[in-house]
Every structure is written in C-alpha cells, then in structure tokens.
Chains A and B, each alone.
Chain A
C-alpha cells in the first residue's frame, strides 16, 4: 500500500518570502512519480510540479522547486518569492510504477499575507 503524509495542515508566509511544504511517502515500487497539486479557494486543482523517481535531479518550474530525497522518502516543495496568488491548498501525491492511481496527502493550506 502507498501512503503520503503531509505533516503541516496550515502554513503562512509573507509576500515575497520563501516557504517550504513538507511531504513524506512510502511505497514498495522502484519506479514511481511524485506530484504537487495546487487548489486555490473555490477553483480547479492544477498540477504545480512533478518528479520522476528515477531522476536524481530535482524538478523546477519557475518559482517552484522540489527537494527530492529518495532514501528518506521525502518530497518537499519550495516556493520562492511568494505571491498572493499562491494562497491555496497544496496536495502532495504519489503514483507507483504501472499503477497510475494517485494517492494523496491530506493537504497543506498555505496563506500568503501581504
């Protein structure tokens, strides 16, 4: 069975600062994918970033980057230069090997304050 744990139910950050959201996971698969999804208030869930487990290089998308520690089964999301529009629920998710079902964490509600 796959599990995803987000230990921070809520976080806040000042505009323009950097914040890191934590995620740990467990899977018996050797090949798997990790994702961060963002769900703004009353809006659609969208993909922020994804990481393929066999790639050692950490994924980066503009102000969003991950710190993927495979041995520690850790997958944190760093948001640089936080903007008000980054206020959202963030979900960490895992899909393992040929099993394309996503297992989600419970989410972290991030608030960016002006």
Chain B
C-alpha cells in the first residue's frame, strides 16, 4: 500500500512565524501535491510538483512556498504565518504511469494564533 506521511497531525504556531509542513511518500511517485481544506470550500490546490526540483503554483499559492529536493519529500512553507492560514493541510502523491489516482496523507490541522 502507498504510504503518504505528514509530519504532524496537529500544529499550533504564532502569527509571523515561518512554518514548515513536511510530507513523505514511500512509493517513488513523481507527482506530489499540497492542498488546504476548509469547511464549505472543499480542497484547494496550493502547489504541486511534477518531479524533483520542479514545482508549479496551484489555485491559491499566495503566502506559501514549497521545496522538493528529494523525490520522496515535499515541503510546504508558510513564510510568515497569518491567522487566515489556519486550516487543514493535505498532502498527496501520484504515480504518472497509467494516470494513477492521488493518494493522500492523514492531514495536518494547523492553527495560527
């Protein structure tokens, strides 16, 4: 089974802090994704990565950046956290061959105080 692991289930940070959310997958998937999930809005794509060192903005990239130095790891960075970034963050990965579906991690519930 595919395993997508997010480093924290719950995280509390303060306004202005630099926040790192980590995601690791163990299936050598090329594509990785970061979403945020808010009630009534569904999932919205923040950034995704085609492969190592490759990234592309999603629908709501403002206030976020990403890093993918190794194939298995995709990091989401909140440069200066703000209260409106309080949300559930979901990471996903996907194999390109065969247009496979995305597999999700458990999510990180981030609170910015």
A residues near B (Cβ < 8 Å) are 9, 33, 35, 37, 43-47, 50, 91, 95, 100-102, 104-107
Interface residues on B, range: 20 to 34
A91 touches B42 (CB 8 A): yes
Residues of B within 8 A of A100 (CB): 31, 94, 96, 99
Residues of B within 8 A of A33 (CB): 99, 101
Report the bound CA distance from A106 to B104 in whole Å: 17
B43 touches A91 (CB 8 A): yes
Tell me the interface secondary structure of chain A in the complex: strand
User: With A44-B107, A100-B31, A104-B42 given, is the CB distance from A35 to B101 under 8 Å?
Assistant: yes
B101 touches A106 (CB 8 A): no
Report the bound CA distance from A91 to B35 in whole Å: 14
B12 within 8 A of partner (CB): no
Report the bound CA distance from A3 to B31 in whole Å: 22
Residues of B within 8 A of A91 (CB): 42-43
Residues of B within 8 A of A95 (CB): 99
Q: Closest approach, in angstroms, between the C-beta of A49 and any C-beta of chain B?
A: 10
User: With A44-B105, A44-B107, A100-B99 given, is the CB distance from A106 to B45 under 8 Å?
Assistant: no
Report the bound CA distance from A45 to B103 in whole Å: 8
